[in-house]
Structure 1
Amino acid sequence: MRISTVTMFEQSVSSMNRQQGEFMKVGQQIASGRRVVNPSDDPQAASRAVGVSQSQAVTQQYADARVSARNALAQSESVLNSVSNAITGGKTLLVQAASDTLSDVDRQSVASELRGIYETLIGQANATDGNGRYLFGGYKDDSPPFIRDGDGKVAYIGDQSTRAQRIDASRLMPVADNGAKIFQSVATGAGYIAEAGDNTGNVTFKGPQVTDPADPGFGETYTLVFDEDGGGNPIFEVTAADGSVVTDGAYVPGQPIAFGGLGLTLEGSPAPGDEIRVGQAEAMNTDLFKSFEKALAVLENPAATPAEKAGLRNTLNTVMRELDNGLDNVLTVRASVGARLNELDVVDAVGGNRMMNYEQTMSDLVDLDYAEAISEYSLRQVGLQAAQRAFVDIKGLSLFDYLR
């Protein structure tokens, strides 16, 4: 069989090109550090690598979401700590103001300090995060959740929902509680509160105290109303929310009145029509701002008559209980925020382990074994050099070299 010179040249060039292509492929792998540079290098591994890469991207998005959630919760926790301190400071001032040794001027001085705490509390309720969003407005976070109405009272206009953020595929975490839950609610089991009406007598109360939680009427709301018998002596009547009379009798100062598993001790002289309402905390005033407003109203006005002094004492007693309940509620929400911060740490650890698994899987699929690649690189280099040398030798073969 006769082989033409053209055929020998073509085969030699083809061999050199093939060897050079393999040599360059290994060089590209070493330069990139990847075994699978193009999908054609290993179609199955390349296909699996795409899926793993997508999972890595989703996991990283959840990690970024957890950073955002942690920032929001940390800011909420910091604000709630300030709110707790404000409530505690307000309670301390009210205990001071309840002293009989203080004059009207002294109480006005206390009221001035209490108003400063009240304004601080409003500012904390309208706190924003680092992005300018209001923390406690729910999903309506583009405007202050608490505003003053025409009478100067604080009202909540935020959303009733709790803003949540997905921190993992199976977890949607609340990242900011709404203001109504924090500043206008009480914790479960907050107990009973007594509140006097616009009385004209000077009767004051202590309590109520829980005496029998097993009483069938325990948990209901009651109204104690004073009147006079035919001889002008004070009497009382306690009615339930449905209007039924629970108990009645002659009023004796200092003698506890029992009803619905509760005990209420009264002092002073009531006037006909005076009343005291007793109910569970969630059925009474639950608004922290209203509690401060009630206290400021009685402290900023002189208490000259016995009725005004009794109203002052009753209001301060009521507000102090309301502040205790409000503080318990804020601490409950703060504990919930702390629990969510701890949960973020746990989810972060799980997400970190998941990302490490993805990275190991990706490495197994596409990363290069350098020892093997360098050996292959040397082999391909020798192959290319051999092909080049063979071409040189074949090119030199000619019958004319032997014709003399």
Structure 2
Amino acid sequence: MRIATANNYDSTIKVLADRQAQLAQQQERLATGKRVLRASDDPVSATLSEAARNRLARAEADQRALEASRTSLQQAESGLAESGELIQRVRDLLVTAGNAAFTDSEREDVARQLEGLREQMIAVANRTDSAGRTLFGGLGGAATPFVDLYTPSGNGVTFNGQRGQAAAGNTALPQALDGESIWMQVPQGNGRFVVTLPNSNTGAASTSMGEVIDPASYTGGDYRISFNQVAGQMQYTVIDVTNGNTPLASHTGVPYEPGKAVQFGGMSFTINGQPASGDAIDIEGSPARSDIFSIVQNAVEALRYDGANESAHRNQELARAMTEVDASHDRVLLARGRVGELLNRADSLGSLLEGRAFDHKAEDSRLTDIDLVKGISDFQTQQQGLEAAIKSYAQVQKLSLFSMIG
């Protein structure tokens, strides 16, 4: 069989072209740093690399969401800190307002300051983050979660958000807090019962906020203490309002002693001052929750109260306001502590997600990146081989029978 010169020429050119294509491909790998540029280069590695990149994209998305939550929580923590400072200023003003030497104009000045602090607290509760989301709207539901409806016929501040708070996940944190539980769930009185004075009282008696001294005997019922002058001596009777206004047998016609603790139904509190005959003290067991805004407003109204038993009424209401303000401050501090825990968790989750992202990047690199040392060595070898082949072909193609004859 005879092989023509043209066939040898075509075969050699094809080999040189293949070598040149391989060299160009190796050069492209070195330029990009990737061993697998397309699925045909290594189908298995390309498939595994795609899965690694998908996991990396999810990890990066979780990181962005976590950073957004961290930013919102930091702003919420700042708002809670400001709220705590405002509540402390309210307490300081309540202490100041208790000065018996204050005139009506001085008490009015304190009342106006309290109203200003109340408005500031509402503004803090309605604060939004840098993205325009409410920080204390709970699970959402309103652009302005706290609406001030305080008018002569209104009912104070209402919460128009959605109660509750999103739970922290394995890679996510809530971006809003439940403001309803922070500012709208303040225990009234001492948290177990409330002692109040009817406006009809004419005497000068007031009470402490009291405490539960025997939880087993405490029923949570409502009572009334009525005072009557009998034979020149002031006496009081405890009436069980919950059970049909029935007088307590052991607390009927008891001689009144100012400053002495009154104990019944597992409760204890002190009555100070001198009541008038016909005066009363009401005890409400298991009262509903109040809110810091109503507490401040009640203190303002107490400072502006102008009626019978003015001094005793004011002292009673200011003492109750201070107790409830302290309870509200505790709730704000508790919420701030929870935010601090969430921010610490954000740091831990951030480190976890960064580690995952690094692992996914490393896996993708292991599957598709080129070994530069080996790649450069292979490129130089292929380049030298191609140059040698071109030079050899150039010499061989000059060989011809006509050249030999000449």
Please confirm whether the aligned pair reaches a TM-score higher than 0.5, indicating the same fold.
Answer: yes
Letter in 2 for 1:259: F
Distance 1:165 1:10, change over 3 A: farther
Letter in 2 for 1:154: V
Shift of 1:302: 3.9
Corresponding residue of 1:52: 52
Larger deviation, residues 173-182 vs 316-325: 173-182
Corresponding residue of 2:266: 261
Question: Structure 1: where are the runs of 5+ without partners?
Answer: none
Letter in 2 for 1:11: S
For the Cα contact (< 8 Å) 2:66–2:173, is it kept in 1?
A: no
CA distance in 2, matches of 1:25, 1:271: 107
Question: Structure 2: where are the runs of 5+ without partners?
Answer: none
CA distance in 1, matches of 2:349, 2:277: 63
For the Cα contact (< 8 Å) 1:225–1:238, is it kept in 2?
A: yes
Larger deviation, residues 172-181 vs 76-85: 172-181
Corresponding residue of 1:286: 290
Distance 1:266 1:284, change over 3 A: farther
Distance 1:245 1:355, change over 3 A: farther
Letter in 2 for 1:312: R
CA distance in 2, matches of 1:395, 1:271: 135
Corresponding residue of 1:139: 139
For the pair 1:158 / 2:147, whether they are aligned, the reply is no
For the Cα contact (< 8 Å) 1:140–1:158, is it kept in 2?
A: yes
Letter in 2 for 1:250: G
Distance 1:45 1:284, change over 3 A: same
Distance 1:17 1:58, change over 3 A: same
CA distance in 2, matches of 1:396, 1:187: 106
CA distance in 2, matches of 1:62, 1:288: 37
For residues 275-300 of structure 1, what are the alpha-carbon distances to aligned partners after superposition, in whole Å with 9 as ceiling and x for unaligned?
A: 322445xx344211110110011113
SS of the residue 1:135 aligns to: coil
For the Cα contact (< 8 Å) 1:90–1:114, is it kept in 2?
A: yes
SS of the residue 1:154 aligns to: strand
TM-score (norm 1): 0.89
For the Cα contact (< 8 Å) 2:207–2:316, is it kept in 1?
A: yes
Count matched residues.
395
For the Cα contact (< 8 Å) 2:209–2:320, is it kept in 1?
A: no
Shift of 1:394: 3.6
SS of the residue 2:129 aligns to: coil
Q: Where do residues 316-331 of structure 1 align in structure 2 (5 Å cutoff)?
A: 316-331=318-333
For the Cα contact (< 8 Å) 1:204–1:314, is it kept in 2?
A: yes
Shift of 1:230: 7.8
Letter in 1 for 2:324: E
Corresponding residue of 1:30: 30
Letter in 2 for 1:82: E
Corresponding residue of 1:249: 252
Letter in 2 for 1:216: S
Larger deviation, residues 80-89 vs 221-230: 221-230
For the pair 1:216 / 2:222, whether they are aligned, the reply is no
For residues 261-315 of structure 1, what are the alpha-carbon distances to aligned partners after superposition, in whole Å with 9 as ceiling and x for unaligned?
A: 22111133155473322445xx344211110110011113446x4x122111111
Distance 1:42 1:181, change over 3 A: same
For the Cα contact (< 8 Å) 2:196–2:316, is it kept in 1?
A: yes
Q: Where do residues 63-212 of structure 1 align in structure 2 (5 Å cutoff)?
A: 63-140=63-140, 143-149=143-149, 151=151, 153-163=156-166, 170-186=170-186, 191-201=191-201, 202=203, 203-212=205-214
Distance 1:398 1:79, change over 3 A: same
TM-score (norm 2): 0.89
Corresponding residue of 2:312: 310
Equivalent of 1:296 in 294, 300, 309:
300
For the pair 1:332 / 2:334, whether they are aligned, the reply is yes
Sequence identity (%)? 26
For the Cα contact (< 8 Å) 1:199–1:274, is it kept in 2?
A: no
Task: Please provide the CA RMSD for this pair.
Answer: 2.6
